[in-house]
């Protein structure tokens, strides 16, 4: 059984086939890179900061591979959330820039999808840092409230209230007519 066939049957969160540390991590990285990049981009709102966050996450995950190898994707996402919080606290201020490029590929005629994604990113930028993190992890990435609370180091009640307020604010922003159209 090859490493690829052992892992192709399930999502990266189910772990990777056992081999050498480098082989296992390389396999994990190949599977998880796109999802981690998307999550990082939603958390930072900036392509370059997202790339830095993914790099920091992968380095820390590799260094802790003996603990992460059973379920590396949840481990890496927790590392990413914690690293984002640490970075934010050190800067004490977030400045979101309009993205020049989107990490995901779009379909053949992706102009409408790109416009909707841009609209969503602009709306997310108007949320507070905690609300944005909760909305991204809970609703865009699909994590359970308990998992989000654990990743962010807050209570489930905080996740519920931040998510509720964040979604309400997103609705308000997205219902406003766009200027220049």
Pair of tokens at residue 119: 């609209």
What's the confidence (pLDDT) of residue 165?
93
The pLDDT value given to residue 9: 35
Band of the pLDDT at 46, cuts 50, 70, 90?
confident
Per-residue model confidence as pLDDT tens digits over 24-44:
999 999 999 999 999 998 888
In the listed set 26, 60, 92, which residue is the last one of a domain according to the structure? 92
- For residue 160, tell me if it sits in a domain: yes
Q: How far is CA 135 from CA 85, 112, 164, in A?
A: 15, 23, 9
Half-sphere exposure of 75 (CA within 13 A, CB side): 23
Band (pLDDT 50/70/90 cuts) for residue 93 is: low
Give the structural domain span for 149.
Answer: 110-176
DSSP 6-71: HHHTS-GGG----S-HHHHHHHHHHHHHHHHHHHHHHHHSSHHHHHHHHHHHHHHHHHTHHHHTTS
- Cα dihedral 23, 27, 29, 31 in deg (nearest 10): 180
What is the tally of structural domains in the chain? Answer: 2
> Quick check: 157 pLDDT over 90?
yes
Indicate whether 28 and 78 sit together in one domain. Answer: yes
Per mean pLDDT, which range of 40-54, 104-118, 139-153 is the poorest?
A: 104-118
- What pTM was computed for the model? 0.49
Do residue 17 and residue 87 come from a single domain? yes
């Amino acid at each position: 059984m090859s490493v690829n066939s052992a892992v192709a049957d399930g999502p990266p969160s189910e772990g990777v086939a056992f081999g050498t540390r480098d082989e296992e991590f390389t396999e994990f990285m190949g599977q998880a890179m796109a999802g981690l990049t998307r999550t990082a981009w939603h958390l930072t709102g900036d392509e370059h900061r997202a790339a830095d966050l993914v790099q920091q996450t992968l380095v820390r995950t590799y260094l802790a591979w003996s603990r992460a190898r059973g379920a590396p994707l949840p481990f890496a996402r927790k590392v990413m959330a914690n690293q984002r919080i640490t970075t934010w606290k050190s800067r004490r201020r977030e400045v979101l820039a309009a993205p020049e490029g989107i990490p995901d590929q779009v379909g053949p005629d992706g102009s409408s999808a790109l416009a909707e994604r841009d609209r969503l990113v602009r709306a997310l930028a108007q949320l507070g840092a905690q609300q944005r993190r909760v909305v991204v992890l809970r609703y865009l990435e699909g994590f359970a409230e308990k998992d989000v609370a654990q990743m962010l180091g807050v209570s489930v009640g905080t996740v519920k209230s931040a998510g509720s307020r964040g979604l309400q604010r997103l609705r308000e922003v997205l219902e406003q007519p766009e200027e220049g159209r």
